[in-house]
Each structure stands twice: as structure tokens, then as C-alpha cells.
């Protein structure tokens, strides 16, 4: 089974992953512009883009545990997923800024006054160096620092889910499910120390 998946995925060119992951954003914009997303397309579009970004983060975080625990290797796609996460969160932010809030002075006010927006912005800012260093040149140039830098994504994912939890009204399950998934994927990374009971002294 795994070998079939591996030989199939090996033939998938990376550019097609970028292309494929662009499709939802174009589709959402099309729906929003034609009135098919909602009678209030601005919030709907903003939420769709943010949610897809969060789903990509979860998917990206799943790649290492999938390999370690199930032997499924999708490492080839990790960079594309990471870069496209940044794309979705950037567009999400732009829709919020340009279509939703509209007034630039209010954007800054919102960022400093509303904790869920502060947290969302923090996550976006932290993602920026990761997106910028998602190329072979940066990997070579940064060396071991690159790995440490990209561990930032763990915190970013938690901030992203927190941003979602904080913005809903009432007690809602969906954002908690994202947080749960993210925490689970992070826990699966922990290398538990080997039991020490029988170690000869």
C-alpha cells in the first residue's frame, strides 16, 4: 500500500501542488463575487480563507508524524504546503484589511485593542520569515539554524487555532477540534525517553 502511494506521489510534479492549492482561493473569490457564497460575502470569504489556511497548517504538521508512525512519506510536498499556507493567511489578512475593516486607522486600532486580532497578526508576522526562507538557497545559507527557525511553526499553529477559538461566539466545537488536532500532532513529535528502569548503573 505504502509503496503504491510512494510511487504514485513521486510522479506528482511539485508545481501541480501549488496550482491545485490555489484553486480553492480562486473558487471562493468567484463565489463571493457572484453572490453565491453568502448575502454577506466579505465575512464568508474571510472565514473560508482563514479556515483553509488553518487546514493547511494541520496538514503540514501531519507530515512528520505520518512518516514516523505510519511510514508514509510526503516530505516532498511539505514546502509547497507551507508556502501555500502563507498565501492563504496573507489573502485572509488582505480581505480583512481591505474589504472588511476598510479604514486603515481602524486596522491598527483593531490589532492593538482586540486580543484575537493581535494573536492572529502575531502568527502572520511569525510566518513571514518561514515563507521567505522556504527555498534551497536559504536552507543552504542558514544551515542548522534553518531547522530551528522553522520550529516556529509549532507556535504559529497554536496561535492560529487560538485565534479561531477566541473569535467565535458562545461555546463552539469546531475551533477546539483544530486546537486538539494541532496539539495531538505536536505531541506525536515528542521523542519519549527510553524507560530507564533496567539500565545497569
Partner 1 sequence: MAHRWTPDLTDAHITPEADFLNRRQIMKGMAGIGLSGIGLALGATPSVAKTNEKLNSWDEITGYNNYYEFGTGKDDPAEHAHRLTTAPWSVTIDGLVDRPASYNLEDIMAKMTVEERIYRLRCVEAWSMVVPWNGFELADLLNMAGVQSGAKYVAFETVLRPDEMPGVSYPVLDWPYVEGLRLDEAMHPLTIMASGIYGKDIPKQNGAPLRLVVPWKYGFKSIKSVVRMTLTDREPPTSWNKANAREYGFYSNVNPKVDHPRWTQASERPIGGGLFAKRKPTRMFNGYESEVASLYKGMDLSKYF
Enumerate binding residues for partner 1 (CB under 8 A): 32-33, 35, 38-45, 99, 102-103, 106, 109-110, 113-116, 166-173
In whole angstroms, the minimum distance from the beta carbon of 170 to partner 1 comes to: 4
Q: What CA–CA distance (Å, rounded) separates 160 from 92?
A: 12
Rounded distance between C-alpha atoms, residue 13 and residue 186, angstroms: 28
Query: CA 48, CA 60: separation in Å to the nearest integer?
Result: 18
Quote the cell numbers at residue 172.
463552539
User: Of the two residues 57 and 95, which places its CB atom closer to partner 1 in the complex?
Assistant: 95
Min dist. Cβ of residue 31 to partner 1 (A): 10
- Min dist CB 104 to partner 1, Å, is 13
Distance CA 35, CA 104 (A): 26
Output 21 or 45, the one with its CB closest to partner 1: 45
Closest distance of CB 181 from partner 1, Å: 18
Residue 152 or 176: the one with the smaller Cβ distance to partner 1 is 176
R_g of the chain computed on alpha carbons: 19
* Calpha distance 39→5 (Å, rounded): 42
CB of 32 to partner 1, least distance (A): 5
Of the pair 40, 69, the CB lying nearest partner 1 is at: 40
Largest CA-CA distance found in the chain, in angstroms, rounded: 73
Residue pair 50/164 in contact (Cβ under 8 Å)? The answer is: yes
- Measured from the CB atom, the residue of 8 and 26 that comes closer to partner 1 is 26
CB of residue 93 to partner 1, shortest distance in Å: 16
Contacts made by residues 133-138, CB under 8 angstroms, sequence distance 24+:
134/79, 134/82, 134/83
How far is it, in rounded angstroms, from Cα 168 to Cα 178?
Answer: 13
**Closer to partner 1 by Cβ: residue 39 or 70:** 39
Amino acid at each position: 500500500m505504502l509503496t503504491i502511494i510512494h510511487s504514485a506521489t513521486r510522479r506528482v510534479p511539485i508545481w501541480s501542488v501549488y496550482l491545485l492549492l490555489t484553486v480553492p482561493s480562486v473558487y471562493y473569490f468567484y463565489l463571493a463575487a457572484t453572490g453565491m457564497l453568502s448575502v454577506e460575502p466579505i465575512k464568508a470569504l474571510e472565514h473560508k480563507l482563514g479556515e483553509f489556511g488553518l487546514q493547511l497548517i494541520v496538514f503540514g504538521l501531519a507530515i512528520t508524524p505520518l512518516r514516523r508512525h505510519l511510514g508514509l512519506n510526503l516530505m516532498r510536498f511539505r514546502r509547497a504546503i507551507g508556502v501555500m499556507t502563507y498565501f492563504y493567511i496573507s489573502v485572509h489578512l488582505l480581505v480583512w484589511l481591505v474589504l472588511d475593516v476598510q479604514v486603515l486607522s481602524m486596522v491598527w486600532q483593531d490589532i492593538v485593542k482586540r486580543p484575537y486580532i493581535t494573536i492572529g497578526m502575531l502568527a502572520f508576522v511569525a510566518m513571514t520569515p518561514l515563507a521567505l526562507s522556504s527555498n534551497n538557497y536559504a536552507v543552504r545559507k542558514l544551515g542548522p539554524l534553518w531547522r530551528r527557525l522553522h520550529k516556529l511553526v509549532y507556535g504559529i499553529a497554536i496561535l492560529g487555532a487560538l485565534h479561531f477559538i477566541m473569535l467565535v461566539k458562545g461555546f463552539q466545537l469546531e475551533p477546539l477540534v483544530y486546537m486538539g488536532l494541532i496539539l495531538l500532532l505536536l505531541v506525536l513529535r515528542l521523542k519519549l525517553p527510553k524507560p530507564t528502569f533496567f539500565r545497569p548503573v
